[in-house]
Amino acid sequence: MTPYQLPERPRRTPYRTPDGFMADMEERIIARATAPRRSGRLRLVLRATAVAATLAAAVTIAVSYMHSSEPQVAETDYIAAFDRLSDSDRAYLVDTYQDDIFLTSYQSSAL
């Protein structure tokens, strides 16, 4: 059996695109990329809110465990645990939870 030889140019693929796809895509990308973004201050506030919401969630869990199971964990332990996280882990929590409607609602009502 003769071993298969990879074809030289043109190196074909079976993938096709709709007519005018790239031109259309360029306009969509430009429109999205140049659309006004949230201001830096607003983003900072949202991030701070998300961190607070995460802490509030941690406290809620802590309180529910205090009433339901042993061993009990103090609220300060959760805060201390959050403080011990690396910057990237904190950023991850912020990115993950800043748009969480339940956590941010809880945080808003708790304040």
Partner 1 sequence: MQSQATDTEIIELISRDREAGFRMLTRTYGERLYGHIRRITVVHADAEDALQETMLRVFRHLGSLRRGEALAPWLYRIATREALRQRRRGITISIDDCAISDARGPVADEYFDFSDLEAVLLQQAIHLLPPRQQAVFNLRYYDEFDYDTIGTIVGSSAAAAKVNYHLAKQKITAYMTSRL
Instruction: Kindly state whether residue 4 participates in binding partner 1, applying the rule CB under 8 A.
Output: yes
Q: Which SS3 state, helix, strand or coil, does residue 3 take?
A: coil
- Binding partner 1 (rule: CB under 8 A), the pick from 3, 20, 36, 71 is 3
The single residue listed with the structure tokens 């996280």 is 85
Instruction: Kindly state whether residue 2 participates in binding partner 1, applying the rule CB under 8 A.
Output: yes
Closest by CA to 54, choosing from 20, 96, 88, 25, is 96
Instruction: Kindly state whether residue 40 participates in binding partner 1, applying the rule CB under 8 A.
Output: no
Instruction: Kindly state whether residue 88 participates in binding partner 1, applying the rule CB under 8 A.
Output: no
Contact stretch for partner 1 (CB under 8 A) within 25-33, 45-53, 66-74, 96-104: 25-33
Q: From residue 95, give the alpha-carbon distance in Å to each of 72, 89, 90.
A: 29, 10, 9
Question: CA gyration radius for the chain?
Answer: 25
Half-sphere exposure of 61 (CA within 13 A, CB side): 12
Contact stretch for partner 1 (CB under 8 A) within 13-21, 52-60, 77-85, 103-111: 13-21
Instruction: Kindly state whether residue 30 participates in binding partner 1, applying the rule CB under 8 A.
Output: yes
The contact set with partner 1 (CB under 8 A) reads 1-7, 11-18, 21-22, 25-26, 28-30, 32-34
